[in-house]
Chain A
């Protein structure tokens, strides 16, 4: 919401305007659709925390999103948890899952990291297929939206939208605080130059693990919230295609920007909603957007605008990709990057 260059009050003013718009929006558009957009925006923002600020591409974030969704659905439906408790339960389980997967994956980098997270997420997927409480293909259906704090019914579409909006804002504020904290600065320095960060005395693995866990936790929060909107948890949320979708949302909007993932998620969800009638074309268009982003549009929408704006004001430019070439790649990055440059010339 707020940009990091503006002074504090300007940031707060922009934030207030954005919130006002979000409050007014359901009177114009279908609230359930808007709530879906917010859930995915939070998911993408959580994912971006890891990719954009720690330079780690996870291909297994669906595991957190989807598994938390199941937990929140189960606690709300079978154990009668109130909505906020169900979300907390899902979020906590996602955090635990994040610790487990993080410990296994964080020692790897670049492509290895992506593959390991993918494989671990597949294991979570198959657990969800088999475990009796998820009801396999049927999913957990008829999850009650319940009463907020046991008092206020969230049954109406407006009520649930404002509830989701509140969760979304909490999530976004946590992410914003994290990115602009000393912790966030260390993460960025690790992303830019890991050996140097280590030589300065930072335990890079510990920082990356913390970022991973935080990202997993917030992804879980998004998944738990989505369940209450749709009253249903299903295998779609935990399948590997979902992991791909969140990468797409983040890339399209702009990796490493606050607003980017939110914009990307809004565009993708809108597209899925309105293009559903042309069936498989959605898949093709998503694929083409992916290819287009990677080839020509690596900063994403928000990233390109920011880039253009900074250039206009003669400011310092940021690189147009995930990090310095090779830094998130495999072994001896520098030598490889040099080779790659040779090859391309």
Chain B
């Protein structure tokens, strides 16, 4: 149906050598990028994810099993129902074999469910919830870039070590916020800190002053922002307006993207400690990738989600070729056998629960004087080894593991 643009990536391509038993529905492969094109996460994923997907297809050679690789994209508008409908329609009528990006936890869970039902693959770069690999884990799902557990452990642990012993949370009042708060509380307590309290702010709240005042009155060392997107941006801005940071309390943004920093400016964000799955200025490979990307995207740099989309598509295509099929469960099985070494991750592994087990980074936002120009925002403080960043497999509550 008309939900997407059909992009034929690269018409001419080398004939691929393939196994004689290859079983592909419609002979070729069709990929879908399902993202937020117009909402609060449009900069985090959006058009950039489509560009990253095109780059991956181009780098793969443009064809699969002798057929051009088809790429569809659509806007889920951050609504689980719209996301699930598109995914279902893609699987039913457009022969989509795998869906990528899927920013937003609610949409992520819904799409993974559809993917399981239709036996296609859902590779999630944007959603944060650990439910994707715990209660609602799926043999068809891969959670690729980060989850609330990794973000909480990284930032929470690091800030307690720096002396931020007591915490107060401003939590977005929905499943994602609650999970982020709970995971961070555990990380804080585990590192020897204490949690003084929390306040639940309605989602898409415009005015955080009242909640910030409560956080200030608690006297906590650190105010943890268990929210995302516009909510985080507004709370950081208003914290500055009310002189909260100047009065000595620290802010901890638990889910912050490069584009949020870009929108807020370094004056407002300097010194923030954050956890990220990837950064464009890590090494020569990442810089080369970022350069190519930014040439196509009018100068803006890729976020960790964009890099995740690129890498997940690349590895999906390799696995599907290796497995000789586009059967969702079999491709994911194949992915589990591979080690991921590319621009996004080194030594990454797809675990039994569907988690992409890879190293994370702890970063601090540069001050305006440290920054060499636009998009030069992070000081990478340390690499967090995967084993420290992510939930241990024995703690994961995934029914698939109980076989």
Contact = CB atoms under 8 A, between A and B. Distances in A.
Interface of A: 30, 32-33, 36, 129-130, 135-139, 141-142, 157, 230-232, 234, 236-237, 273-277, 279-280
A141 B113 contact: yes
Given A230-B85, A279-B75, A138 B2 contact: no
Contact of B5 (A33, A230, A277): A277
B93 interface: yes
B80 interface: yes
A36 B89 CA distance: 12
Contacts of B79: 234, 236
B80 A139 contact: yes
A141 B74 contact: no
B113 A137 contact: no
Contacts of A129: 173-174, 202-203
Interface in B82-100: 82, 84-86, 88-89, 92-93
B89 A139 contact: no
B174 A137 contact: yes
B175 interface: yes
Interface string B34-68: 00011000000000000000000000000000000
A232 B80 contact: yes
A33 B1 contact: yes
B180 interface: no
Contacts of B80: 137-139, 141, 232, 234
B33 interface: no
Contacts of A234: 79-81, 106
Contact of B1 (A30, A130, A135, A280): A30
Given A137-B203, A232-B110, A274-B1, 20 more contacts: A30-B93, A33-B1, A129-B174, A129-B202, A136-B174, A136-B175, A137-B174, A137-B175, A139-B81, A141-B110, A141-B113, A142-B113, A157-B92, A230-B84, A273-B1, A274-B2, A276-B74, A277-B3, A277-B5, A277-B75
Interface residues on B, range: 20 to 34
A33 B89 contact: yes
Main secondary structure of the interface of B (DSSP, over half): helix
A130 B2 CA distance: 35
Interface of B: 1-5, 37-38, 74-75, 79-82, 84-86, 88-89, 92-93, 105-106, 109-110, 113, 173-176, 202-203
A247 to B, nearest CB: 20
B74 A277 contact: yes
B228 to A, nearest CB: 11
Given A129-B202, A142-B113, A279-B75, A135 B89 contact: no
A280 B37 CA distance: 10
A139 B113 CA distance: 13
A32 B92 contact: yes
Contacts of B176: 137
A124 to B, nearest CB: 16
Q: Which 10 A-B pairs have the closest CB atoms?
A: A137-B174, A136-B174, A274-B2, A138-B106, A234-B81, A137-B106, A142-B113, A279-B38, A139-B80, A138-B175
A234 B1 CA distance: 23
Contacts of A275: 2
Contact of A280 (B3, B38, B81): B38
Contacts of A30: 1, 89, 92-93
13 contacts: A30-B1, A32-B92, A33-B1, A137-B80, A137-B105, A137-B176, A137-B203, A141-B109, A230-B85, A232-B110, A234-B79, A236-B82, A277-B75
A319 B81 CA distance: 39
Given A137-B176, A138-B109, A277-B5, A32 B89 contact: yes
A61 to B, nearest CB: 18
Contacts of B105: 137-138
Contacts of A273: 1-3
B88 A276 contact: no
Contacts of B109: 138, 141
A27 to B, nearest CB: 14
Given A141-B80, A232-B110, A234-B81, A135 B175 contact: yes
B174 A138 contact: yes
Contacts of A231: 84, 113
